[in-house]
Structure 1
């Protein structure tokens, strides 16, 4: 689906969401129950750099400061982070972390943050947007990857052939929507032939409380069997030292 088709299905009563020349998404639209959904994101497979991260973070903070009580929807079709010398010299990783923390703060303030992945995304841009929301849903054809195999090969010092073999049995080594769903990163895929507004409303009615529950989901789905237990153990050890 194109951004226009997605927005029309999400907000059949109309909306004021726009995509600027840099591929940044902003605006809002009404829910079926009359509440309003704030919308930010990245479109047209734009790379996320320092400037974009600051602009998106500013919009998230404005939503929090305004006392918004409805959901915050993050639409994602991006490249990876912008790999330019300027962005790296300015400390791009800190800007991406700032955006991520702003989305987490919104969640802690009771704003239901929902990522909607409809295209590509990768690496730092993926982590700072879609993976920093309370839950992430996707449309068929979405193409996420935390790290592509050539990059993973350089980091792990394992050959691409070895990584491809590991990816067959271990989803954390493999890109793609199905693998990310198995690890718990993606909650569910939506049906593009149904009203996206209805599916958003259904999700909001059964959405879990604030906090990240993807480790437990990954354990239940068999794609990330140890993360939830390790997290609980760390929490237990931290609490025992208080």
Structure 2
């Protein structure tokens, strides 16, 4: 979906969002109150400068109004793979962004993510995946790692992973697979403004991804293994 059309549908009561270097920052009005908006556009590869800009908006929001919700709009092709960003220590900048979001949550802000384009690897992990609830549009593309890259990392034949991806959502990209695993809570269609308000007002019950994955059949063992470890049985 085109960004401007998305903003108008999410925030029909008005929005004041700046887009600079494909980084979104600003505020918007909803029937549940004012929200801070951060995000990325045009499949941005998130680098150190982008991470700093996103973190600055989060910190400013939690200083001005600690309980103001933060809505994260995600369209990223991953982290920027440049010599400059690696030499500057991009992992530290991503950690700074994640800490800023964690601080906002601890101070009472609700964090909601919507994947409207792509969400890939470090570019997604550093901010969109930090939300209390993650949602997506039907046409969004969600993947942590391409199967070719996964084959190189795991030292498994690509053909084996491709076969596994047909039966296991863990190995397959796509919104519906991430819904099955519990990582994406829901897919939004139709009234996007209403869906956002519902997400902002939903009770927070901790991290339910393992439970949802078990219930939906996408991650059948994670919940039980975690419970066994917690109980000292593994």
TM-score range, shorter chain: over 0.9
Contact preservation (8 Å) 2:112, 2:199: no
1:101–1:224 distance in 2 versus 1, CA, 3 Å:
farther
Counterpart of 1:147 in 2: which secondary structure?
A: coil
State how many pairs are aligned: 232
Q: Supply the distance in 2 between the matched residues of 1:23 and 1:142 (Cα, whole angstroms).
A: 18
Q: Supply the distance in 2 between the matched residues of 1:58 and 1:215 (Cα, whole angstroms).
A: 31
Contact preservation (8 Å) 1:104, 1:133: no
> What TM-score comes out, normalization by structure 1 length?
0.90
Structure 1 counterpart of 2:172, from 171, 174, 182: 174
Matched residue, 2:220 = 225
Q: Which runs of structure 2 are paired with 1:66-85 in the superposition (5 Å)? A: 66-85=64-83
Matched residue, 2:133 = 135
Matched residue, 1:23 = 22
Q: Supply the distance in 1 between the matched residues of 2:179 and 2:97 (Cα, whole angstroms).
A: 23
Q: Supply the distance in 1 between the matched residues of 2:69 and 2:165 (Cα, whole angstroms).
A: 35
> What TM-score comes out, normalization by structure 2 length?
0.93
Name structure 1 gaps, 5 residues minimum: 238-242
Q: Supply the distance in 1 between the matched residues of 2:228 and 2:57 (Cα, whole angstroms).
A: 36
Q: Supply the distance in 1 between the matched residues of 2:146 and 2:122 (Cα, whole angstroms).
A: 12
Q: Could you say what the CA RMSD is over the residues aligned between the two structures, in angstroms?
A: 1.5
Q: Verify: 1:214 aligned to 2:209, yes or no.
A: yes
Name structure 2 gaps, 5 residues minimum: none
Contact preservation (8 Å) 2:61, 2:68: no
Q: Which runs of structure 2 are paired with 1:1-242 in the superposition (5 Å)? A: 1-20=1-20, 22-33=21-32, 35-191=33-189, 194-209=190-205, 211-237=206-232
Matched residue, 1:240 = none
C-alpha displacement of 1:54 = 1.3
Contact preservation (8 Å) 2:66, 2:107: no
1:102–1:168 distance in 2 versus 1, CA, 3 Å:
same
Spell out, residue by residue over 1:186-217, the C-alpha distance to the aligned partner (whole angstroms, 9 max, x if none): 000001xx3321111122232424x3221211
Contact preservation (8 Å) 1:118, 1:142: yes
